Structure 1
Amino acid sequence: MARPPGPPDEPGFPEAVAAPKSRWRVQLVWLVPLIAVLIGGWLAVQAILEKGPTIKISFSTGEGLEAGKTKIKFKNVDIGVVQSVVLSPDHKHVIATAELAKQATDMLVDDTRFWVVRPRISGGTVSGIGTLLSGSFIGMDIGTQKKPRRDFVGLEIPPVFASGVPGREFVLKSEDLGSLDVGSPVYFRRLQVGQVTSFDLNADGSGVTMRVFINAPYDKYVKGDTRFWQASGLDVVLDTSGVKINTESLVSILVGGLAFQSPPDSQDVVEASAQTPFQLFATRTEAMQRHERIVDNYVFNFKESVRGLTVGAPVDFRGIVVGEVAAINTRYDPVTREFSIPVQVRFYPERFTSRYESGRRAGRVVENRREVAQWLVERGLRAQLRTGSLLTGQLYVALDFFPTAPKAAMNWEANPPEMPTVPGGLQSLQESVSSLVAKLNKIPFEGIGNDLRATLQEAKRLVTTLDTQVAPEARGALVQAREALNATNRVMQTDSPLQQNAADAMRELARTAAAFRALAEYLERHPEALIRGKPEDSK
C-alpha cells in the first residue's frame, strides 16, 4: 500500500525497498571453528607422519620399568618412552612396549641391543650411578646389520663396549673362569687396554670360552703367537736371584684380570684378525714357555720311589730343560714279579740345537733319531731321579752320561720307546748304607765280645800274678842292679886303683908305640939291617 503524501513543506526521501536474504551466505562466526578443524587435521596428519616405530622388548624382570615414565636413550639422548609393561603369555618374561622417535627407525636392525641401566658393580667397574636420582632407563646400542626388526630380547648385563668403538674382539679358551667376570680388565705391559666382554660354558662342559675386547690402537699388539694369561693375584717366583713377586695392578688382585704379550723371541709380526681364538694360560711363566713344534715321547722305567715327582716336572740335561714329565704310572712284571714305575716324558729335540740357524728354524740334530739314541745309550746316557729342592722334596728327571753304568739298550719294541735308567743319588746312598749295614750284621760282635771278655779276664789274672809274684822278684832285681851301678860308679872314679892302673897301662902302650915307630923309621932308612943286622958304631 502506497504511503500517503506528506505535508507539502517536508523534503522528499526515497522509499526503502527490502532486499531478499541470501540462502548461502557464510556467517563469520563459523570461520573460527573451521580454522580450528583445519589446524587439528593438519596436526593429526603431521603427528601420523612424524610418529615413530613401536617396538617390544622382552626382559626377565620389570625392575625399573614404568609405563609412561621409563625413557629409552641412545648416547644419553631421549629417543623413546615405554608405553606399557605386561607379562608374557607364558608368564616367564616381561614385555615392554615402547614408542620411539621417527629418526630412530633406521636404528632398529637385527643386532640392535637394549638393556636396563641401573646401578651395577661388576668386574671392578661401577656403572649407572646417575640412575639413583633420575631413575632407571633403557639403554640402546645400534647394530651393524641391515635387516629391520621390531621385537627384541633385552640384555641382562649391559655390553662392555658400544658398537663403533675402534678395536677388535678375540676369543679365549680356558679350563675354568677363575676370578674373572664381565668387565674384568685386560693388561698389556701393565697398561689397561681392554676388558672381558662375555663368557660361556662350553657345550660339553670341558672348559670356558670367553671374549675380550682390545681397544685401538693396542689391538695391533695382538699377534698370531701372542700369549694370554690370568693376571689375578700374586705371581711368586723363587730362584737363585731371590724371591720375585709380580702383579699387574691392585685391581687385578681384587677382581681378577688378564694380560697378554708376545714371546721375547717372537718372529710372527702379523696382527691377529678379529675373533681369533687363543689359549688362556694360568700363569705368565706357563704362557711364556717355549711351544715346541717337534715332540718325541719316551718312557723311563724306575724301580725306586718317585715320591716328589709330579706331572710337568722338568727333564733336565746338564742344566737345560729338554722335556717334561707327561704321566706317571705303575707296572707289574708277572715274570720277575716285580713292580716298577714307568714315567712317560715329552722330549723336545729342538732344544739341542740353536733355535735359529741361518735365519731358519732349527729342527732335529739328525733325522735318524733312533740310531743316535741307541749310540748315546751305548755310551752311558741314562735317566736318573734327582732332588730339585731340599725344602719341598720335589724331584726332576736328569739325563746324563754314566760311563760305569751297566750295559743297556733302548727298547724300541715298547710304545713309547723305553730308555734305560740308573738309581738316583739318594737311592744309591741308601743302597750303599744298606750294604754296609748288611756287612756289619755279618760281623760276629757277640763272639768278639765274649773273646774280649775272656781276654780281659786273663789280663786281670796276669796283672794279679805280676803284682803278687813277679813284682817282689823284680823289686829285688832292681835293688841288685842299683848296687851294681853304684859299684861301677866307684870304679870309674878318677882316684880309684882301676883308673890309675889303666893310666899306667896307657903310658906303657904309648912308649911301646913310640918304639915301634922308631924301629919302622930305621928299617925304612936301612932295610939291609934285616939281613946284616945293625952295624956297630965306629970307634
Structure 2
Amino acid sequence: MPDNLNTPEPPDVPVAIVAPRARWRPQVVWLVPIIAVLIGGWLAVKAVLDQGPQITIMFNTGDGLEAGKTKIKFREVDIGVIKGVSLSRDHKHVIATAEVVKDASDLLVDDTRFWVVRPRISGGTVSGLGTLLSGSFVGMDAGGSAKPRQTFTGLEVPPVISSDVPGREFVLRSQNMGSLDAGTPIFYRRLQVGQITSYALDPDGRGVTLHVFINAPYDKFVRPDTRFWHASGVDVALDSNGVRLNAQSLVSIIIGGVAFDTPEHSLDQPQAAAQTTFTLFENFGEAMKRHDRIVTRFVAEFDDSVRGLTVGAPLDFRGITIGEVSGIYTRFDRESRKLSIVVEVAYYPERFTNRYESGPTGSPVVKDTREFADYLVARGLRLQLRTGNLLTGQRYLAVDFFPDAPKAKIDWSKNPPQYPTVPGSLQSLQDSVTRLVAKLNTIPFEAIGKNAQMTLQNANSLLAHLDTDVVPEAKNTLNAAHGVMTSANGALQPDSALQQNVSDAMNQLAQTAAAVRTLADYLERHPEALVRGKQENKP
C-alpha cells in the first residue's frame, strides 16, 4: 500500500508506566469478621477462665436427677448444674457429674455434703414442698474443712442441722429407739432447743446410739450430770397427791421427743464438752433417780410365791429405798431336793450407811462391811416379801429387824452371797391358818356332838319335871309373897295404926332425950347432987 504523504501524523501519546501491585491492602469489609473473631476468642478464653470445677456425686438412686436441668443450690442460690447421670461400674450406684461455678470452688471441701431435695416428712417436719412445682434439685451444705475434694457421696436423708448453725452435738445411748427419728425435737423445760441428727444400731445389737444437736445458747445447760429421757406420749403418775399427767408438748405426744434436765445438786458443774456420751432413760422418774457409784449384789431365797414381784422392785428399809431387784429365777438344790425361788438384789451401800460410827470418839463399830453385815443379821436383820399396792398387787422386798426370827447367818460361800429371809405376812397368816386347821382336825367333834345330844335330852327331862312339880309350888309361893307385900304396903300407909304408934313412940323418945339433956346439964353444974340429992331453992 503506497504511503500517503498528505496524511497528518498522530499526536504524541504518553507512555504508561506500569506500577507493581501491592500484596495486601486492608479492606473495610474484613473489619467485621475480624472483630467477631476477636470477641469470640475473648469469650472462649473468658469461659475457660471462668469455668468452675467439675465434681462427681454418687447417689444410691437417680430419682430427681436430670442432666442439664437439675440445679445445685446453696442457700437457695444456683451454684451449679448436673451435666450427666450414669451408672457406676458395679451398677449399684448412680454417678452424677456436675459443674460448679468458680466462685463456689472454695466450698468444695472434704466435709461438704450433697443430697437430693424432694418432698419429705420426717421427725415431725415437712420439707421440700417447693419441689412439687419447680422439680427436685441438689442441696449442698458447705463444710468447715480446709482440704479440697472433687468426689462426694450424696446423702439419702437431708441433714437436720446445717454445719454453720451454732451449738454442740452430743451422743445418747439407749436400749431402744421408741418413737424417735431423725429430726425428732429435743426439749428443755418444755422449750424446743434441738433435734436428733442421726441414729444407728450398735455393732453388738444391744442398743442404739443417737447423735443430738443442741442449739446455742441452750447447749450451755448441758452438764456432765445432765439426764436425758424419752418424752414421748403422756406420763401418768398415781401417788398420794392424786393422779398427775405430764407431757412436754402436743408434738411430743404425736411424734415423740427427748427432754433433758440437770439435778439441783449438779447445777454448779461446768458445761459438758461436745460429743459427751449420755444415757437416754425411759422416763423422767428413771432419769432423776439417784444413780449410785457402788453396787453390791446378793441373793435371797424364798419358799413362798413371788407373784407381784418384778425386776426393778425396790429394796426398802423402813421407807428408804436402798436397792432394787435385779433378777428373779428358780434354784434346785440337789442335796436337799428342794426347789425354791431366788431373788437377786442390787444393793447400794451409800444409801444405807458407810460410816458405822458411834460414841464421842467416832470409833468404828466393825472393821469391814462383811463383819457389819454379820452383826446386823445376828441382831435379826432379815429380808421379807411385802405387798406395796393392794390395788395392783405389786410387791417389794423389805429389809427389817425380826428379833424373834430363828438364828441364821449369811452364806458367804455363794457368789453372790445369800442373805437369810423370813416368810411374808400373807405366808405367815397362811401358815397360822394351816396350823389352826390341823389343831381343829384333832378335836373329837363327833363325841362332843353325842354328849351335847345327851345333855339336851337331860335338859328336856328337867324342864318337864319343873313344869309338872316345881312350877305349881313356885306359883303358890309367889302368891304368898304377894300377900305379904300387900300387908306390908298397907302398914306403911300414913294413916295406918302402925304409922301412928311409930309417931307417938318417936315423940316420947324425943321428950325422954330432952329430959336426959336437962339432967345432964344440971349434974354438970351440981355434981354434988349425986350424993346429997337435989336441994330445994330457998326463998
Corresponding position of 1:330: 330
* CA distance in 1: counterparts of 2:290 and 2:414, whole angstroms: 28
User: Judging changes above 3 Å, is the alpha-carbon distance between structure 1 residues 482 and 341 closer, same or farther for their aligned structure 2 residues?
Assistant: closer
Q: CA deviation at 1:148?
A: 2.5
Matches within 5 A, 1:71-90: 71-90=71-90
Does 2:395 align with 1:372? no
* CA distance in 1: counterparts of 2:227 and 2:64, whole angstroms: 42
Corresponding position of 2:123: 123
Corresponding position of 1:33: 33
Corresponding position of 2:288: 288
* CA distance in 1: counterparts of 2:255 and 2:467, whole angstroms: 95
Opposite residue 147 of structure 1, the aligned amino acid is K
Opposite residue 76 of structure 1, the aligned amino acid is E
User: Judging changes above 3 Å, is the alpha-carbon distance between structure 1 residues 264 and 366 closer, same or farther for their aligned structure 2 residues?
Assistant: farther
* CA distance in 1: counterparts of 2:120 and 2:475, whole angstroms: 119
Corresponding position of 1:44: 44
* CA distance in 2: counterparts of 1:254 and 1:476, whole angstroms: 94
* CA distance in 1: counterparts of 2:156 and 2:188, whole angstroms: 29
Matches within 5 A, 1:57-456: 57-266=57-266, 269-352=269-352, 368-456=368-456
* CA distance in 2: counterparts of 1:79 and 1:136, whole angstroms: 15
RMSD: 3.4
Moved more, 300-309 or 175-184: 300-309
Moved more, 85-94 or 376-385: 85-94
Per-residue CA deviation, residues 280-310 of structure 1 (Å, 9 max, x unaligned), is: 1111111111111111222222221111111
Per-residue CA deviation, residues 237-285 of structure 1 (Å, 9 max, x unaligned), is: 1111111111111101111111111222226613222222111111111
* CA distance in 1: counterparts of 2:246 and 2:438, whole angstroms: 52
| SS, match of residue 329 in structure 1 | strand
* CA distance in 1: counterparts of 2:338 and 2:417, whole angstroms: 20
Q: CA deviation at 1:40?
A: 1.0
Opposite residue 67 of structure 1, the aligned amino acid is A
| SS, match of residue 455 in structure 1 | helix
Q: CA deviation at 1:440?
A: 2.3
Opposite residue 293 of structure 2, the aligned amino acid is R
| SS, match of residue 278 in structure 2 | strand
User: Judging changes above 3 Å, is the alpha-carbon distance between structure 1 residues 151 and 367 closer, same or farther for their aligned structure 2 residues?
Assistant: farther
TM-score w.r.t. length of structure 2 = 0.82
Opposite residue 122 of structure 2, the aligned amino acid is S
Per-residue CA deviation, residues 68-95 of structure 1 (Å, 9 max, x unaligned), is: 1111001111001111222333333222
Q: CA deviation at 1:185?
A: 0.3
* CA distance in 2: counterparts of 1:251 and 1:18, whole angstroms: 103
Q: CA deviation at 1:29?
A: 1.7
* CA distance in 2: counterparts of 1:262 and 1:57, whole angstroms: 43
Q: CA deviation at 1:434?
A: 2.1
Q: Percent identity?
A: 63
* CA distance in 2: counterparts of 1:394 and 1:296, whole angstroms: 24
User: Judging changes above 3 Å, is the alpha-carbon distance between structure 1 residues 226 and 367 closer, same or farther for their aligned structure 2 residues?
Assistant: farther
Structure 2 regions of 5+ residues with no counterpart? 1-8, 356-363, 492-497, 499-529, 532-539
* CA distance in 2: counterparts of 1:66 and 1:109, whole angstroms: 24
| SS, match of residue 173 in structure 1 | strand
Structure 1 regions of 5+ residues with no counterpart? 7-12, 356-363, 493-498, 500-524, 527-539
* CA distance in 2: counterparts of 1:277 and 1:476, whole angstroms: 104
How many residues end up aligned between the 2 structures?
487
Does 2:461 align with 1:461? yes
User: Judging changes above 3 Å, is the alpha-carbon distance between structure 1 residues 470 and 198 closer, same or farther for their aligned structure 2 residues?
Assistant: same
> Does the Cα contact within 8 Å between 1:350 and 1:365 map onto a contact in 2?
no
User: Judging changes above 3 Å, is the alpha-carbon distance between structure 1 residues 414 and 24 closer, same or farther for their aligned structure 2 residues?
Assistant: same
| SS, match of residue 264 in structure 2 | coil
| SS, match of residue 46 in structure 1 | helix
* CA distance in 2: counterparts of 1:236 and 1:466, whole angstroms: 76
Corresponding position of 1:507: none
Q: CA deviation at 1:466?
A: 4.2
| SS, match of residue 34 in structure 1 | helix
> Does the Cα contact within 8 Å between 1:386 and 1:397 map onto a contact in 2?
yes
Opposite residue 33 of structure 1, the aligned amino acid is P
* CA distance in 1: counterparts of 2:57 and 2:451, whole angstroms: 107
Q: CA deviation at 1:475?
A: 7.5
